[in-house]
Protein backbone atom coordinates (compact mmCIF):
# COMPACT_ATOMS: atom_id res chain seq x y z
CA UNK A 1 0.00 0.00 0.00
CA UNK A 2 1.22 3.51 -0.80
CA UNK A 3 2.05 5.71 2.19
CA UNK A 4 -0.13 8.73 2.93
CA UNK A 5 2.83 11.05 2.36
CA UNK A 6 3.48 9.51 -1.08
CA UNK A 7 -0.22 9.76 -2.01
CA UNK A 8 -0.49 13.40 -0.93
CA UNK A 9 2.69 14.24 -2.84
CA UNK A 10 1.30 12.57 -5.96
CA UNK A 11 -1.94 14.55 -5.64
CA UNK A 12 -0.02 17.80 -5.16
CA UNK A 13 2.64 17.34 -7.86
CA UNK A 14 1.21 15.04 -10.55
CA UNK A 15 -0.96 17.39 -12.61
CA UNK A 16 -2.92 14.65 -14.34
CA UNK A 17 -3.61 12.62 -11.20
CA UNK A 18 -4.22 15.74 -9.10
CA UNK A 19 -7.18 16.78 -11.22
CA UNK A 20 -10.34 16.21 -9.28
CA UNK A 21 -11.90 16.95 -5.95
CA UNK A 22 -10.03 15.38 -3.04
CA UNK A 23 -11.19 14.97 0.54
CA UNK A 24 -9.04 13.89 3.47
CA UNK A 25 -10.47 12.14 6.52
CA UNK A 26 -8.47 12.37 9.72
CA UNK A 27 -9.17 10.87 13.13
CA UNK A 28 -10.07 13.52 15.71
CA UNK A 29 -9.09 12.16 19.12
CA UNK A 30 -11.38 14.54 21.02
CA UNK A 31 -14.49 13.82 18.94
CA UNK A 32 -13.41 10.17 18.54
CA UNK A 33 -14.43 10.08 14.88
CA UNK A 34 -13.16 10.78 11.38
CA UNK A 35 -13.48 14.39 10.24
CA UNK A 36 -13.64 14.93 6.46
CA UNK A 37 -12.09 18.09 5.02
CA UNK A 38 -11.60 19.18 1.41
CA UNK A 39 -7.94 18.96 0.45
CA UNK A 40 -8.09 22.55 -0.84
CA UNK A 41 -8.51 23.66 2.81
CA UNK A 42 -5.33 21.87 3.87
CA UNK A 43 -1.98 23.67 3.97
CA UNK A 44 1.43 22.03 3.86
CA UNK A 45 4.48 23.60 5.51
CA UNK A 46 7.44 22.75 3.24
CA UNK A 47 9.63 22.25 6.34
CA UNK A 48 7.20 19.85 8.05
CA UNK A 49 7.07 16.35 6.57
CA UNK A 50 4.94 14.85 9.34
CA UNK A 51 1.76 16.95 9.46
CA UNK A 52 -0.50 19.37 7.62
CA UNK A 53 -2.39 22.43 8.83
CA UNK A 54 -6.01 23.45 8.61
CA UNK A 55 -8.30 25.97 10.23
CA UNK A 56 -11.22 24.51 12.16
CA UNK A 57 -14.78 25.88 12.35
CA UNK A 58 -13.81 28.05 15.34
CA UNK A 59 -10.98 29.68 13.35
CA UNK A 60 -8.23 27.85 15.24
CA UNK A 61 -5.19 26.67 13.29
CA UNK A 62 -4.65 22.93 13.78
CA UNK A 63 -1.64 20.78 12.94
CA UNK A 64 -2.81 17.29 11.99
CA UNK A 65 -0.16 14.54 12.06
CA UNK A 66 -0.14 12.44 8.89
CA UNK A 67 -0.46 9.26 10.95
CA UNK A 68 -4.00 10.39 11.89
CA UNK A 69 -5.14 10.51 8.25
CA UNK A 70 -7.48 7.54 7.79
CA UNK A 71 -9.14 8.06 4.41
CA UNK A 72 -8.69 9.91 1.12
CA UNK A 73 -11.44 10.37 -1.47
CA UNK A 74 -11.16 11.47 -5.09
CA UNK A 75 -14.39 12.78 -6.64
CA UNK A 76 -16.32 11.11 -3.82
CA UNK A 77 -14.71 7.69 -4.32
CA UNK A 78 -12.55 6.16 -1.59
CA UNK A 79 -9.01 5.76 -2.98
CA UNK A 80 -6.99 5.17 0.20
CA UNK A 81 -7.80 3.87 3.68
CA UNK A 82 -5.67 3.22 6.73
CA UNK A 83 -6.79 0.19 8.70
CA UNK A 84 -8.21 1.31 12.05
CA UNK A 85 -10.68 0.28 14.67
CA UNK A 86 -14.24 1.29 13.86
CA UNK A 87 -14.72 5.05 14.24
CA UNK A 88 -17.59 7.37 13.39
CA UNK A 89 -17.44 10.06 10.72
CA UNK A 90 -18.44 13.63 11.51
CA UNK A 91 -22.23 13.84 11.48
CA UNK A 92 -22.71 10.07 11.94
Give the pLDDT confidence score for residue 86 in this predicted structure.
44
Average pLDDT, the chain: 88
pLDDT band at residue 30 under the 50/70/90 scheme: confident
- Structure pTM? 0.82
Give the pLDDT confidence score for residue 90 in this predicted structure.
53
| Least confident segment among 10-14, 45-49, 74-78, 86-90 | 86-90
Q: Where are the domains of the chain?
A: 4-89
- Contacts (Cβ under 8 Å, ≥6 apart) of 48: 63
Give the pLDDT confidence score for residue 4 in this predicted structure.
93
Residue 20 and residue 81 in contact, taking contact as beta carbons nearer than 8 Å:
no
Q: What is the DSSP letter of 20?
A: S
**pLDDT of residue 22 exceeding 80:** yes
Q: What is the DSSP letter of 59?
A: S
Residue 35 and residue 24 in contact, taking contact as beta carbons nearer than 8 Å:
no
CATH class of 4-89: mainly beta
Amino acid sequence: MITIRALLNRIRWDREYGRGEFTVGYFDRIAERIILVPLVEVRFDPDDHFSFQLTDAAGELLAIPLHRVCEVYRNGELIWRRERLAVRRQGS
